[in-house]
Amino acid sequence: MVDLSQYLPILLFLGVAIVLSTAFVVLPMVAAQFTGANKPNPDKLAEYECGFPAFEDSRAQFDVRFYLVAILFIIFDLEAAFLYPWAVSLKEIGWTGWLAMMTFLAELVLGFVYAWKKGALEWE
């Protein structure tokens, strides 16, 4: 016979997650109804992209440089996320950790130089 009581914490966690996610979706809509914030008009319902109204077909192609800049931003953002815990634990990880991070940074710099030489950062 399987002891199902071991699954109780998982079920409780799942139940709390479902209740909270439902509350985060439903409560703002209810609050908007009661406070009068739900007054649709054409300006509120207009689609916009990057702060200005769309002026072409939604299936039009974007310049690939937009995506390259976005990917580069994500890469360098992740680099910053890796550097902080590395700096905090540098005493414990020693020279091996230092060398691993320097290798990581060297690869990142090589990728940045490659993107720069290919013109990924040029914008007309």
CA 50 to chain CA centroid, Å, is: 17
What would the two tokens of residue 101 be?
């991070």
Q: Which residue has the higher pLDDT, 55 or 22?
A: 22
Question: Is the Cβ–Cβ distance between 44 and 87 less than 8 Å?
Answer: no
Pairwise CA distance, residues 54 & 124, whole Å:
20
Whole-prediction pTM value? 0.46
- Partners of residue 39 on adjacent β-strands: none
Closest by CA position to 65, among listed 105, 124, 22, 17: 124
- Partners of residue 53 on adjacent β-strands: 48
What would the two tokens of residue 77 be?
């953002």
Domains along the chain with CATH numbers: 1-57 (no CATH), 61-124 (1.20.58.1610)
Phi then psi for 11, rounded to 5 degrees? -65, -40
Sequence-distant (6+) residues with CB within 8 A of 16 are none
Name the pLDDT band for 15 (thresholds 50, 70, 90). Answer: very high
Each residue of 38-74: pLDDT tens digit? Answer: 777 777 777 666 655 666 666 767 667 777 778 888 8
